Amino acid sequence: MRKTSFLAGLLLLVLTTTGQAEDAKPFIANTDVDLTAILPPPPANDSATTKAELAEVLTLQLTRTPEMEARAKADAEENVWRFADVMGPKFTKEALPKLDAFFERVVATEGAVVDPAKDVWKRPRPHMLSDLVKPIVKPSTSGSWPSGHTTLGTMMGIVLSDMVPEKRTEIMARAWEYGHNRVVAGIHYPSDIEMGRISGAVIASNLQHNAEFETEYAAAKAELRSDLGM
C-alpha cells in the first residue's frame, strides 16, 4: 500500500507540474495583434539580401568564440530567468512565484501572436537553405520570420525594465544580446532579429491596455521590488 501511495503521489506531482506549464494563458492573441499587417514580408530565398545574410551567419559560425557559443546555447531557454545575470542572485524562480507565473503568461503570449505569422510567411531558416550552416542549438523547421525568441526577449526586457527602471540600460542590453544570440547560434538571420525586436515592442505596447496584464503586472512588480529591497 505504501508503494502504491508513493507512486500515486509521484504521478500527481508530475501531472500537477506539467499542468502548470501547459496552463499558462496568453494575455492576448494574434487576433489582437496581427503581425502580418504590421511587418513587411521576408526577402525571397534567392534574393541578394538573403544571400548576404547567409554570409553573415557563416562568418559568425567561423568567428564565434567558445564563450559566445555557451551564451547562445544557454539563451535557447525561453524564460525570464535568463536575465538573472543582470538582476542579481535574488532573482530566482523559487523566490518570485508571482513573477514566474506572470512571465509564463508573457511567454505564452509571444507564441500566440508570433506563431500564426510564422506560419503565413514560412521563411526557411539558414540551415534549411545552406548545408554549410551548422546550428549549435536544437534545429527547428518552423518559420524564421520573425524570430520568436527575439520577440520574447524584447517583451521580457521592456516589461522587466518597466518594473525596475533603475536597471533599464542593463536589462535592455541583455534583451538585445538574447536576440543576437539566435544569429550566433546559426538558427536565424539578422533581419529575423530586427523583425523580432519590432514585434516584441508592438506586443509589449498592446499588453499595457489589457486589464489582466495590468493586474498581474502590479502584483509581480511589487513582489520583485520587495525581493530586491527596492
Structure confidence by residue, pLDDT tens digits, 180-192: 999 999 999 999 9
For residues 124 and 23, the model is more confident at: 124
pLDDT (mean) for 94-100: 97
When computed from its CA atoms, the radius of gyration of the chain, rounded to whole angstroms, is 19
Task: With 0.85 as the threshold, say if the pTM is over it.
Answer: yes
Q: Which three cell numbers stand for residue 10?
A: 509521484
Q: Which three cell numbers stand for residue 102?
A: 506572470
Which pLDDT value is given to residue 230?
A: 81
Q: Which three cell numbers stand for residue 125?
A: 531558416
Over residues 45-72, the pLDDT tens digits come to 999 999 999 999 999 999 999 999 999 9
Which pLDDT band holds residue 22 (cuts at 50, 70, 90)?
A: low
Query: CA-to-CA distance for 81 and 208, rounded, in angstroms?
Result: 22
Q: Which three cell numbers stand for residue 31?
A: 487576433
Query: CA-to-CA distance for 50 and 7, rounded, in angstroms?
Result: 54
pLDDT (mean) for 166-170: 97
Which pLDDT band holds residue 6 (cuts at 50, 70, 90)?
A: very low
- Asked if residues 54 and 189 have their Cβ atoms less than 8 Å apart, the reply is yes
The answer on pLDDT for 17 being more than 70 is no
